Structure 1
């Protein structure tokens, strides 16, 4: 008979993949002694965390939302990216009533349609193709007053691809005879998720008030920053301006009352703050809170949060009977913890898109380091405090299931600083050693895995340049308990991240 564990601890190492040795493999270079020892003495295997086995298109790198959804679901979960792509292919996208209502609203008000989104080929938070499709829809509806608020990537793509992305967008607009670029903003500002409201509000003010940096063309906005060694991710909110007949400089197209906005990002965590700035400004925990614009028709591509006053173009599909729900339905208690940068991962992502806590679920957030411009200077992130809080809960409180996400590998990996990433892996190794000792002391079960790769491939194998993106690498899984230790390492097998629960880890 299989042993029943009263305490099960799932630790997710965000952005921690498995790859062969290379000069860009921060995991191999760090040589994490404790983790290597765990792999040698307890059951371990590797899990596929990208492409079709987690509901993504073939060759598409994994990401945190996809990883946590699949982990908890225990089955392949169809993702928003292929869902929206399919709608474009079968043309149901162009009859989506929410999009049509947004255009009708702007027509009736003789106002503007603003398309806001990450112009990226990365496919993690948004897709250029979705922006192109909306331009096509507006053209079909014979609506010309379309303004693009372009968010540049540089994180899930190369650091300097914005000009190429811009030229493709301009070619698309030229072909359709529709659209103007109103603002350009790096994702560091427009897509903050860590509560750094000064970044979000700078984006808002550029879009609504035409305030901040300015440029007379979108190309100038990008090149002016490149000349200062400021690349795509960090481009400050920049207003594209025009000169009128009297040579007065005016913003190309600000957001005003009565307008429509379509936010094309399909992943929620980095779209939420900017959406709240428009729709729920009274909740902003920052100074100079503004009044909401009136009669604004705000569309989000997917559901960012359950109670936002917005129109959702692609509502969530019900994801029932996942791990978090099953634990709750059986009257058991569970504890979820992460730092600010990864809070959505252990809450709405792991809970299948449910934003609120389930019955019996306790959540805890640890503040990420305040200076989010330089996580390379903080490879420990908030892991020391997070580890202490997790250990305290394991030893002192009676939860059946504990979920912890450690941000170090992913957040430091995204900086492109290999030395800092090596330190981040070393910190993780120390945290895992502490957690393992405590879990074994209470005769519990510890599962260590990851949601996607990143830190194991920080040098592009083709170009030799720095790679700050996620990867298609498999991820590790180690299962640790007093009764599972063995003296020789078992062979590894490849499976998928979504097979984690059906493999019999939790039953």
Structure 2
């Protein structure tokens, strides 16, 4: 939630914190072991696992022992494709400009899966992604039923991409409406757990009252 993986290009600072630690070997905290790191950081006031700050494990000279270097192989493994796409762009795109890489190691990068079939990202992957056919959204639209999907940025893929079997875009733009409510960048969910629930509810209410028949998929928890 705080280091390496964000979603839908909502907060590139999250990815940069991970890049600095994992690739450059630079972080605000340095420890001799992962056990020491977790015990120390968990002891901080209001600490919880998803929001622990970045740290690196160092040798006796204070140098990071595991930065990504030229010649390394990198494999990213995560069940959630939306959590991997931004990092995959940072690792693979030659024209990446969302933050300063400082150093780009020459390595061979692969994902466990191809996380975005339309972007073909990453270009190398270990397991072909499953093809999900005849989803509920596709079924409804092909039977002439209008659909409405609304969520905030960090959950938008739940009601569009995932809901449609890992496909972006529409099956039929004349029968589907997708509405994205921008998420508040930099505000963590443990501080603002209601997120954009009120705005999503209001948009869903307005759509229902407009008289256009459809289905609503609010923020997924």
TM-score bucket (shorter structure): 0.7 to 0.9
Higher helix share: 1
Match of 2:11 among 196, 203, 206: 196
Q: TM-score, normalised by structure 2?
A: 0.80
Aligned partners of 1:353 and 1:304: how far apart in 2?
9
The whole-number CA distance in structure 2 between the counterparts of 1:327 and 1:280 is 37
Q: Distance in 2 between matches of 1:404 and 1:293?
A: 40
- Relative to its length, the structure with more strand (as a share) is 1
User: Paired residue for 2:41, among 222, 225, 228?
Assistant: 225
**Maintained 8 Å contact 1:336/1:403:** yes
Larger radius of gyration: 1
Q: CA deviation at 1:201?
A: 0.8
5 Å matches for 1:205-284?
Answer: 205-212=20-27, 213-229=29-45, 230-243=47-60, 248-280=61-93, 282=95
In the alignment, is the contact (CA less than 8 A) between 1:216 and 1:240 conserved in 2? yes
SS of 1:251's partner is coil
Per-residue CA deviations over 1:129-150 (Å, capped at 9, x if unaligned) read xxxxxxxxxxxxxxxxxxxxxx
Residue 201 of structure 2 is aligned to residue 382 of structure 1: no
1:310 aligned onto 2:113: no
Q: Secondary structure at the match of 1:405?
A: coil
Report the equivalent of 1:10: none
Label 1:315 to 1:356 Cα distance change in 2 as closer, same or farther (>3 A).
farther
1:336 paired with 2:149, answer yes
CA deviation after TM superposition for structure 1 residue 250, in Å: 1.9
8 A contact 1:215–1:240 mirrored in 2: yes
RMSD of the TM alignment (CA)? 2.8
Query: Is the Cα–Cα contact under 8 Å of residues 114 and 128 in structure 2 kept in the other structure?
Result: yes
Are 1:297 and 1:310, in contact at CA under 8 Å, matched by a contact in 2? no
Change (3 A) 1:251 1:397: farther
Question: Where does structure 1 differ by over 6 angstroms across 4 or more consecutive aligned residues?
Answer: none
The alpha-carbon distance between structure 1 residues 376 and 209, as it changes in their structure 2 partners (threshold 3 A), is: closer
Residue 349 of structure 1 is matched in structure 2 by 162
8 Å contact from structure 1 (residues 336, 402) kept in 2: yes
Aligned to 1:363: 178
2:206 is the counterpart of 1:392: yes
* Structure 1 segments unaligned to the other structure (5+ residues): 1-186, 411-507
Q: Map 1:14-413; keep pairs closer than 5 Å.
A: 187-193=1-7, 195-212=10-27, 213-229=29-45, 230-243=47-60, 248-280=61-93, 282=95, 286=98, 288-290=99-101, 293=104, 295-306=106-117, 307=119, 308-330=121-143, 333-360=146-173, 361-373=176-188, 375-396=189-210, 398=212, 400-406=213-219, 410=221
The size of the alignment, in residue pairs, is 214
Instruction: State the shift of 1:282 in Å.
Output: 4.9
What TM-score comes out, normalization by structure 1 length?
0.38
Unaligned runs of 5+ residues in structure 2 are: none
The Cα of 1:204 is off from its aligned counterpart by: 0.9
CA gap of 1:258–1:327, structure 2 versus 1, over 3 A, is: farther
Q: Using CA pairs under 8 Å that are at least 6 residues apart, name the structure with larger relative contact order, 1 or 2.
A: 1
